[in-house]
Amino acid sequence: MSSPSHTPPRTGQLKPKTDWSSVVLAPVHFIMGLADRPLRLLQKRAGIGGMAAFFLAPNMLIFGVFVLLPIIINLIYSMTGGSALFLSERSFVGTDQYAKLFDCKSYLDPMSCQEDAFWTAVGNTFWFVVLQVTLLILFSLITALILNRELMARSFWRAVFFFPVLLSPVVVGLIWKWILQRQGLLNFALYPMGFEPYTWLSDRTFAFAAAVGVSIWAHMGFYTLILLAGLQAIPKDLYEAAEMDGTKPARIFWRITLPLLMPNLLVVVVLALIRAVQVFDEVFVLTGGGPGTSTLFLTQYIYETGFVSQPRNAGLAAAASILMGLVLVVLTLVQLGIGRKNENKGKR
Amino acid sequence: MSAAIRFLTRRKGGKGWHWTDIVTWVWLIGGLFIMFGPAVWLAFSSFKTPQGLAEFPPSILPYVTQQVKVEGYEKPLMLYNAKMPDGSTRVLAEVRRIGIVSQMVDPKAPGEVIKVNIGDRQPVREVFFATENYTQPFMQFDFFRYLWNSVFVTVTATLITLIVNSMAAFALSKYEFKGRNLAMLTILATLMVPLSVILVPLYSIISTVGLFNSLWGVILPTVATPTGVFILRQYMLTIPDELIDAARMDKASEWQIYWRIIVPLTAPALAVLAIFSVVWRWNDFLWPLIVLSRRELYTLQVGLSIYAGELNVQWHYILAMTVVTMIPVVVVFIFLQRFITTGIAGSGLK
């Protein structure tokens, strides 16, 4: 959005042609025009500064009620117990919920913990984040490098890799559930090679691998796009100069491309981390967290503890979500730090 | 022949093929299959009958066994190519199957019953698109309701987002007031707090204000998007203040300045936000899943996941409805892809 090119403001209606968009917009303009009279009165009362508050109010009101307020009362929730929904009916228990989450004999063995599901989810999420982000960035980088070459129909190929990004997580989950099932495409592809049909998603290891693979499939295009933009921002004359000096392609990559892409790469890594920590939708539809707890991740743990389990345990879910929030806040601060550093570099 | 190969593989500038060219094309073609293949496979599968879906190995096109009406039999009979003991093949209709022996008749001469070993017959198949996979869910189940709910949520939420976000962005970019930076910072800071972190308290607030089991409960928490305010503000900052001053001299009210000057000039950024908002709201899953517990209120995404999670999954309906759910996004993708890609590349929003 950084390169706006405004058409100069039209002075009066010079175009004699019927402008259909104005015909369509006429009723909208009429309604907005009706609002003008009372708002003029308001402006007289409140002044121009007051109008600023008026413009800001709806957004801030919604934002305050549905975003800020929940953040604050989430803290309070995490310190209450019982199965009641409303805060007024809940008993204050201090840090009991956190103590319950952290009550473990050994942190390396989820089964030794009181909330074994939480630690299973933490462990799964950790491995998911490590694997998914590494592979995701690797594939996105390779794809971006390839799309940055002199290529026939580049925008078509870019679209190919971007396509799954827009699909809904439910659709993504169902597409792959269909492919990985017993009569699915994967078994069909393996059949000629002598493999017997297999229900892939009932296999603990494979279900986890599928969760990683499917989420890479779904999100790769997004990161490819950002990296490609970064690659295209690298000045071409650097490459020309290197080529004239007869520099080897590998050396060009390590000495020019990678260092100059580094700021983008870091941002992309942190963005991918932030999103991987919250993994839920597509995996939930694909595996439902199973088989067993092999693909149970943090967000699903929070959802099931707070909304599905009987009795619901909102306090425990809130405490778990605050812990997850802390991780995300740290990651975002790192990202902002990187962004600032990049900006400063640009200024110098 | 070798000349033809040389012609097909020649490259710009007369350079030969480098190994990186081969990697490039293997990657691209492989990507084409892996990225598009699954969705295309799903779309093909969605036209198969339940019998066709249960087949292994599966066929790509939807086939059914041809059926024929035979005199003397009430129901239509399945047609088979049957191998006769003398080595010839005849097209016969199956009357019934007993163990490994199939009793068949010739459709032209239905009098005589011929016994054929079931290993010696192959079904006569034809391509058939089971469009009832699409019509039935809309007629029998509530999918029309779900579709309507999804459209309502998407359209309403996007409209409110555009209005509310652009008003806020206008205030934050064109007015000087105390606390402006604080407001901007608060909005940006909440980028760190995704929905999954505030599920429990948000749910209790929604219940308190009576929006549980209401589509408005799905819409309202999503409309004050920080990304929306941010990209609109960045865009509005580039609109020259002189325009606004000139309008004020002409006695335009602040509201008119917003509506007549700022909004039209911000149209490109609004378009990008609108596209994103439509895709976001159409695809939302976790929050509607929590807020909506009555079947008639489900959005497509929730309805689809609930049906797919049932014990005996009716895959032929699920697949068809998945395709329906995919359609708006595919349309957006085909026609508006350029806006989206520039939007992402420019601001990293998603």
More confident residue, A309 or B242: B242
Coil/strand/helix, residue A2: coil
| pLDDT, one tens digit for every residue, chain A (348 residues) | 344 445 444 444 454 556 677 777 788 888 888 888 888 888 888 888 888 889 999 999 998 898 889 888 888 888 888 777 777 777 777 777 887 778 777 777 777 777 788 888 988 999 999 999 999 999 999 999 999 888 788 888 888 898 898 898 999 999 998 888 877 788 777 877 877 778 888 888 899 999 999 999 999 988 998 888 888 888 888 888 888 888 888 888 888 888 888 888 888 888 888 889 888 888 998 988 878 888 999 999 999 888 888 788 888 888 899 999 888 888 888 877 776 776 665 544
Q: In this predicted structure, what is the pLDDT of residue B162?
A: 94
- Describe chain A by its helix, strand, coil percentages, rounded to 5: 75, 0, 25
The ipTM value here is: 0.80
Number of domains in chain A: 1
Asked if residue B231 lies in contact with residue B174, where contact means CB atoms within 8 angstroms, the answer is no
Segment B161-188 mean pLDDT: 89
Asked if residue B318 lies in contact with residue A157, where contact means CB atoms within 8 angstroms, the answer is no
Segment B122-129 mean pLDDT: 76
Q: How far is A123 from chain B (nearest CA, A)?
A: 18
Which residues contact residue B338 at a Cβ distance below 8 angstroms, ignoring those fewer than 6 apart? Answer: A155
Chain A residues in contact with B37 by the CB 8 A cut-off are 185
| Nearest residue of chain B to residue A320 (CA atoms) | B197
Q: Is A233 on the interface with B (CB under 8 A)?
A: no
Size of interface A-B (CB pairs under 8 A): 302
Per-chain mean pLDDT for chain B: 83
Coil/strand/helix, residue B125: strand
Q: In this predicted structure, what is the pLDDT of residue A166?
A: 87
Among residues B124, B179, B153, which one has the least CA distance to residue B302? Answer: B153
Q: Quick check: B58 and A321 CB within 8 A?
A: no
Residues 65-84 of A with CB under 8 A from B: 65-71, 73-74, 77
Q: Quick check: A160 and B31 CB within 8 A?
A: yes
Chain B residues in contact with A288 by the CB 8 A cut-off are 309
Segment B153-165 mean pLDDT: 94
Segment B309-333 mean pLDDT: 83
Q: How far is B110 from chain A (nearest CA, A)?
A: 37
Q: Is A273 on the interface with B (CB under 8 A)?
A: no
Q: Quick check: B204 and A314 CB within 8 A?
A: yes
Q: Is A151 on the interface with B (CB under 8 A)?
A: yes
Axis-axis angle for helices B199-208, A314-347 (nearest 10):
110
Task: Evaluate whether residue A60 is within a structural domain.
Answer: no
Asked if residue B341 lies in contact with residue A219, where contact means CB atoms within 8 angstroms, the answer is no
Q: Quick check: A174 and B318 CB within 8 A?
A: yes
Q: In this predicted structure, what is the pLDDT of residue B15?
A: 60
A215 is in which domain, residue-wise?
A: 119-307
Q: Quick check: B259 and A322 CB within 8 A?
A: no
Q: In this predicted structure, what is the pLDDT of residue B4?
A: 64
Residues 294-323 of A with CB under 8 A from B: 299, 302-303, 306-307, 314, 317-318, 321-322
Among residues A337, A149, A164, A133, which one has the least CA distance to residue A252? Answer: A149
Q: In this predicted structure, what is the pLDDT of residue B5?
A: 61
Task: Return the residue in B22, B160, B162, B198 with the most chain A beta carbons within 10 A, the one to mutate for interface testing.
Answer: B198
Domain with CATH 1.10.3720.10 in chain B: 133-347
Residues 24-63 of A with CB under 8 A from B: 29, 32, 35-36, 39-40, 43, 48-49, 51-53, 55-56, 58-60, 62-63
Task: Evaluate whether residue A93 is within a structural domain.
Answer: no
Radius of gyration of chain B (CA): 30
Chain B residues in contact with A164 by the CB 8 A cut-off are 35, 39
Among residues A235, A257, A239, which one has the least CA distance to residue A145? Answer: A257
Measure Cα distances from A35 to A32, A47, A53 in Å: 5, 17, 17
Task: Return the residue in A171, A248, A308 with the most chain B beta carbons within 10 A, the one to mutate for interface testing.
Answer: A171
| Nearest residue of chain A to residue B345 (CA atoms) | A226
Task: Evaluate whether residue A336 is within a structural domain.
Answer: no
Chain A residues in contact with B348 by the CB 8 A cut-off are 226, 267, 271
Task: Evaluate whether residue A184 is within a structural domain.
Answer: yes
Question: pLDDT of B203-240, one tens digit each?
Answer: 989 988 888 999 999 999 989 888 889 889 988 998 89
Class of domain B133-347: mainly alpha
What number of other Cβ atoms are within 10 A of residue A158's Cβ? 20
Among the partner-chain residues B196, B202, B204, the one whose CB lies closest to the CB of A280 is: B196
Task: Evaluate whether residue A49 is within a structural domain.
Answer: no
Among the partner-chain residues A58, A162, A321, the one whose CB lies closest to the CB of B200 is: A321
Segment B265-274 mean pLDDT: 88
Measure Cα distances from B192 to A65, A66, A69, A79, A343 in Å: 17, 15, 15, 22, 20
Q: How far is A289 from chain B (nearest CA, A)?
A: 12
Among the partner-chain residues B163, B268, B285, the one whose CB lies closest to the CB of A170 is: B285
Q: In this predicted structure, what is the pLDDT of residue A345?
A: 57
Coil/strand/helix, residue B345: helix
Task: Evaluate whether residue A68 is within a structural domain.
Answer: no
Q: In this predicted structure, what is the pLDDT of residue A3?
A: 44
Q: How far is A87 from chain B (nearest CA, A)?
A: 8
Task: Evaluate whether residue A139 is within a structural domain.
Answer: yes
Which residues contact residue B40 at a Cβ distance below 8 angstroms, ignoring those fewer than 6 apart? Answer: none
Measure Cα distances from A163 to A262, A264, A303, B77, B329 in Å: 26, 22, 29, 44, 9
Q: How far is A224 from chain B (nearest CA, A)?
A: 10
Measure Cα distances from A251 to A34, A227, A229, A234, A245 in Å: 66, 20, 22, 16, 12
Chain B residues in contact with A59 by the CB 8 A cut-off are 164-165, 167-168, 224, 229
Q: Which CATH number fits the domain that encloses residue A196?
A: 1.10.3720.10
Name residue B45's amino acid: S
| Nearest residue of chain A to residue B197 (CA atoms) | A321
